Amino acid sequence: MTIPTSTTTAGPSSDRAPDGGTIICFYASSRYASEYRSGLDMIDLAWRNGFDRAIVSDVEYNEAPSAFETRFPGLTFMVVPSPVRQQRLLYRFTDLLPQIIWHHRAAAAIRQEGARPVRLWIANSAQPWLPLGVYQDCFGEQLIWGPVGGGGTAPARYLATCDRSTRWREWARTAIERLTIAAKVRLLTRLRRSGRSVTVMARTREVAADLAALGAGDVPVVSEIVAPLQPLTVVKTATAGPRLVWVGQDIPRKNLAMALDVFAKLRARHFPAITLDIHGVADTSEDPAVTYHGWTAGVPWDRYREGGVLLLTSYREGLPSAVLEALQAGLSCVSTDVGAVATLRPAPLFLIPMDAYPNIDDDTLDTMASFIRDEVARTTYRLEGADHAPSIARLIAKKD
């Protein structure tokens, strides 16, 4: 089968010392900056660590070639055709099929060249369903997989509040992911036994634990965001009560219902003048204290700079970008103890136990209120614990 590809060398030669390596990045365009922030950042990290080629989709490359050509001098792009003309970030299995087809095409293009890259990093789109086996003969020394998403099981107490179809979808998702992860770990074990290096990164503690239990070894948890974060100046706006900020998509695992419940209980018990700003969900509220801002292009930095406390109520996450960005802006965070959020301590975090919802007890609520009261009074902030870029850079470095 002939796979039509085009290869473009971006910019003039640079003073880097490329030593071989290919990064495969299905979502790379800055067009998806509000959801998949890390595409171009991961290509940038690979480029800075000696990778000399990136494989991307034609849909994204052709949309803004200058974004690729000017940013990475000396990096060669292999452009592989996508089976769809518009790539979408949707979550039904039928929407994942184009990605699976694209990965088969990318692997076929590498084989067609006849020269295997020394290192092969399958960056984003590294979900458990990814057809990893198609790349097993496409690298010379090192295969890097991840950060791997998915994994984790919704808390039983949360599922008890859901309708039957939601419970069924959660059960099916968990079962499929565990099966596919198990198959990939067997493949990675075979590759290691053949003497080749395999590096796996996970987005969540749950995925890392699943991979380790299946024999993948020590699997580090890393962030999707690879660019170092720097503190920003917060100019607090005077308000009658605390301001909570919720950021997320209108999908079940973001658990907006819990945010509204926590807000209502805090207002009834502690803060009569508390307000809640919801970004990412288009809706209307009869409660003047709750404001829906709809979809926001990029990060709502202006809202963050006004101060407040980020509220994250997801029941399944990796290392949430919303928390990292809020910390960068100087906000403190109230979050469910999900994914790898706890690893960000000593940053100002209050963790809600995962089994606390839907019936958050008064003691937890009182402790949360004390945290919010203290954080609203805080006037200085120093970013701590939110820069996970060095760990990714170390993991993708060429093995001696």
Q: What distance in Å separates the CA atoms of residue 260 and residue 39, rounded to the nearest whole number?
A: 32
Is residue 191 within 8 Å of 136, Cβ to Cβ?
yes
Q: What distance in Å separates the CA atoms of residue 296 and residue 315, rounded to the nearest whole number?
A: 22
On the 0-12 / 13-18 / 19+ scale of CB atoms within 10 A, 53 is buried
Q: What distance in Å separates the CA atoms of residue 274 and residue 263, rounded to the nearest whole number?
A: 8
- What's the one-letter identity of residue 231? P
The CB-side HSE value for 215 (13 A sphere, CA atoms) comes to 12
Q: Provide the pLDDT for residue 153.
A: 63
For residue 269 the two structure tokens come to 């018990």
Q: Provide the pLDDT for residue 202.
A: 82
Give the residue ranges of DSSP H helices in the chain. 38-48, 58-63, 65-69, 93-113, 156-159, 164-193, 205-213, 256-269, 301-305, 321-329, 362-377, 389-396
Is residue 69 within 8 Å of 47, Cβ to Cβ?
no
- Block mean pLDDT (10 aa), the chain, length 400: 53 52 76 50 83 85 74 87 63 63 90 87 71 87 82 63 73 76 85 87 77 81 62 60 85 85 92 90 84 73 76 82 78 85 81 79 91 73 48 72
On the 0-12 / 13-18 / 19+ scale of CB atoms within 10 A, 298 is exposed
Is residue 307 within 8 Å of 377, Cβ to Cβ?
no
Q: Provide the pLDDT for residue 46.
A: 87
